Amino acid sequence: MMHKWDVKTASSMIEQERLTLLSLVPTMIQELMSDPSFETADTSSLFNIGAGGSATPPKITAMVAEKVEDPYPGTGCLRKPIARSVLLPAEQ
């Protein structure tokens, strides 16, 4: 857990701690996916990125689908898909 959001620290933590799941607001997802540190870090352990707090734009959905290998959609309260729009390509 980070005291304050920092995209470079997040990329480093994904690599060092072998994180498998992140739960972020869409703005943080966009910042993480756009930062060069995400490209150079070993993020192969990451397979689920959940979004909440606001609607997730299709652009962010596409970024996750492109940069996270075989993303897995999660489910939340009442067994409704909460991250499907983030984790799967727009055409699915």
Neighbouring residues of 15: CB distance < 8 A, sequence distance ≥ 6? 41, 42, 43
Whether 87 has a pLDDT exceeding 50, the answer reads: no
19-87: CATH architecture: 3-Layer(aba) Sandwich (3.40)
pLDDT band at 48 (very low <50, low <70, confident <90, very high): confident
- DSSP string for 58-88: HHHHHHHHHHSSS----B-GGG-BSSHHHHS
Domain boundaries defined on the chain: 19-87
The arithmetic mean of pLDDT across residues 51-78, rounded, is: 75
Residue 72 — pLDDT band, cuts 50, 70, 90? Answer: low
pLDDT tens for each residue of 6-42: 999 999 999 999 998 888 888 999 999 999 999 999 9
Q: How many residues are listed for the chain in this entry?
A: 92
Across the range 44-67, mean pLDDT stands at 84
Whole-prediction pTM: 0.74
Are 55 and 32 a contacting pair, CB within 8 Å?
Answer: no
63 falls in which pLDDT band (50, 70, 90)?
A: confident
